[in-house]
Structure 1
């Protein structure tokens, strides 16, 4: 009986959970993606289009789409929304000038019908930098408490060292296991 159940789980139990990784250009999205994957900082270039990688955390598989954040590419983000379970928004915690743009993009995204059931993970990147905003400041500025239809979490992190990223992966895993 146990062997049969194990075989059924391998056939039906495992599946990829779709995640989109978005944020303005230079926020650290690609560095975070490869930190998730290799646990090392890698040299990156601006993403034109998207990168996709599979990340497995304790037998939970995430298919993570890293989408370019340049202004000209943001209009294409919605083509990635279908079947997305988690939206990871990467915020450059030192970029106070563009936080309003980040907020507008987040709220525009979450109004899309394909993301109505998606959870939101905000990664407050570059916490190692002088004068970076705290995760709480970013949460307040992005008005995350108004996101009553979405479960959300803010995690301070540093893409270069990986600090804060294991906790964010655990939050993602808990979200998909709860649904």
Structure 2
């Protein structure tokens, strides 16, 4: 009877584990975000921003929520490291793409990389969260401005493709890609919006087609 009750208790209290990858350009604040998540959700505070170095390879963090464990993989964003991102696509349950809303000079580069992530067949239908980071800075673009900037960048890209190669926009294909996309503003430094982002991930991974 003891073993039966113990087994029942373990079954009722078991937590399902989901993997979330955090990607984006170098300097966007990915590791700062992960360390802030650790501080907010674990007993061991994450690293302070002044002790965070550029990620070469990956960092991992795990948090426990009701009935769920979220395992975060923070992947380096330098140009030479982005080539390994695709190795994590097959096993992830959600993707977080962090954009530096303050660094306007690198927005086009960020959108180019973001668009390549969107086109990856492995993450079709996987929850995708675009985080406009550094909202604590008065120079940062708002969430709405980030949305508009990406849409304008994408429109110019399509027009360029039509002129150069005669390619037409595949409306249905793009709609499938962005169906699971949401955009939120955060300050990884101050923690503003981080809990809302984690709540979004918690809800979406439960309903993800990849389980």
**TM-score, scaled relative to structure 1:** 0.88
Written as runs of structure 1 = structure 2, the 5 A alignment for 1:14-53 is 14-39=15-40, 42=48, 43-53=51-61
Alpha-carbon distance in structure 2 between the residues aligned to 1:163 and 1:52: 21
The 2-side partners of 1:120 and 1:142 are apart by 15
In structure 1, C-alpha distance between the alignment counterparts of 2:175 and 2:147, rounded to whole Å: 11
Q: What do the CA deviations read for 1:103-159 (whole angstroms, capped 9, x no partner)?
A: 111121122222112111111111111221001111222239955344122111111
- Residues 69-80 of structure 1 correspond to what in structure 2 (within 5 A)? 69-80=77-88
SS at match of 1:87: strand
The one of 170, 182, 186 equivalent to 1:157 is 186
Matched residue, 2:164:
none
Alignment partner for residue 167 of structure 1, among 186, 196, 209?
Answer: 196
Match of residue 87, structure 1, among 85, 95, 107: 95
CA contact (8 A) 1:85 1:117 kept: no
The alignment of Structure 1 onto Structure 2 pairs a total of residues equal to 175
Distance change in 2, residues 1:114/1:148 (3 Å): closer
- 1:74 deviates by 1.1
Large movers: runs of 4+ above 4 Å: 3-6, 144-147
Alignment of 1:93-132 (within 5 A): 93-132=101-140
Partners of 2:9 and 2:150 in 1: CA distance? 44
Contact 2:129 2:181 in 1 (8 A): yes
Task: Calculate the aligned-residue CA RMSD, in Å.
Answer: 2.1
**Contiguous gaps of at least 5 residues in structure 1:** none
1:148 correspondence with 2:176? yes
Cα offset, 1:6, TM superposition: 4.3
1:63 and 2:71 matched: yes
Q: Where in structure 2 are there 5+ consecutive unaligned residues?
A: 41-45, 155-170
Pick which of 51-60 and 128-137 moved more.
Answer: 51-60
Q: Is the deviation greater in 49-58 or in 32-41?
A: 32-41
Contact 1:41 1:159 in 2 (8 A): no
CA distance in 2, matches of 1:7, 1:61: 15
